[in-house]
Amino acid sequence: MTLDRFYPIFDHSDWLRRMLPLGVRLVQLRIKDQPSGTVRAQIEVSRDLCRKHGAVLVVNDHWQEAIALGCDWVHLGQEDLDSADLAAIRKAGLKLGVSTHDDDELERVMGMAPDYVALGPVYPTILKKMKWHQQGLPRVTDWKARIGATPLVAIGGMSVERASGVFGAGADIVSAVTDITLNADPEARVRQWIGATR
């Protein structure tokens, strides 16, 4: 299946409840610093919401729960890759998305045959402090040339206004977080995103 070109990331199932009815088809649930019972409940609710709306749910980091709850996708950052059981993830039939920021990381993950590769931050981001400065559009083009048919997700400082340039540089999918969650009208912003990416 081809993944949708718009890939929002949310930290709570309430966001999915609001945004999936608008037509979001690919979404990541990224929960940090919550007790395991909360994480499991959130993934379960999100899984059911995505099934109801025909959307793809990608679970960030919590691969054991994703396997246990019969999810289809997991996303792992570089730190997560150190401790994750990739064989168990593959055996469970989960598809795998991975974060990359530099050449060494890209080389490492391509050996894992990921189902998509994320590159970030393409633009400066307020979401998290990172040791990488903005990667820029030439880097997007370079990454796409190197990963070939594997879908490339661009993340970091993304906005509706920047999307066309990022697609033009070679990204297959654009991922947004604060451009939606900090917007005065998140629903309207998601509709703009869908309009700009389909």
Q: What pLDDT score was predicted for residue 179?
A: 96
Each of the 198 residues of the chain gets a pLDDT tens digit; together they read 799 999 999 999 999 999 999 999 999 999 999 999 999 999 999 999 999 999 999 999 999 999 999 999 999 999 999 999 999 999 999 999 999 999 999 999 999 999 999 999 999 877 666 666 789 999 999 999 999 999 999 999 999 999 999 999 999 999 999 999 999 999 999 999 999 999
Scanning the chain, the segments in alpha helix (DSSP H) are: 13-19, 36-53, 63-68, 78-83, 86-91, 103-110, 137-147, 160-169, 178-181, 186-197
Tell me how far the alpha carbon of residue 156 is from its chain's centroid: 11
Q: What pLDDT score was predicted for residue 125?
A: 79
Position of tokens 């451009």?
179
Residue 161 lies in a domain: yes
CB atoms within 10 A of CB 72: 17
Of 27, 18, 130, 22, nearest in space to 73 by CA: 27
Residue 1 lies in a domain: no
What span, in angstroms and rounded, lies between the C-alpha atoms of 53 and 48? 9
Range of the domain at 64: 6-197
Residue 20 lies in a domain: yes
**CATH value at residue 123:** 3.20.20.70
What's the alpha-carbon Rg for the chain, to the nearest Å? 16
Q: How many domains does the chain have?
A: 1
Residue 150 lies in a domain: yes
> Would you list the DSSP string of 105-150?
HHHHHHTT--SEEEE--SS--SSS--SS----HHHHHHHHHHHTTS
Of 64, 3, 20, nearest in space to 180 by CA: 20
Q: What pLDDT score was predicted for residue 133?
A: 72
Q: Are 36 and 6 in contact (CB under 8 A)?
A: no
Residue 77 DSSP label: -
Q: What pLDDT score was predicted for residue 4?
A: 98
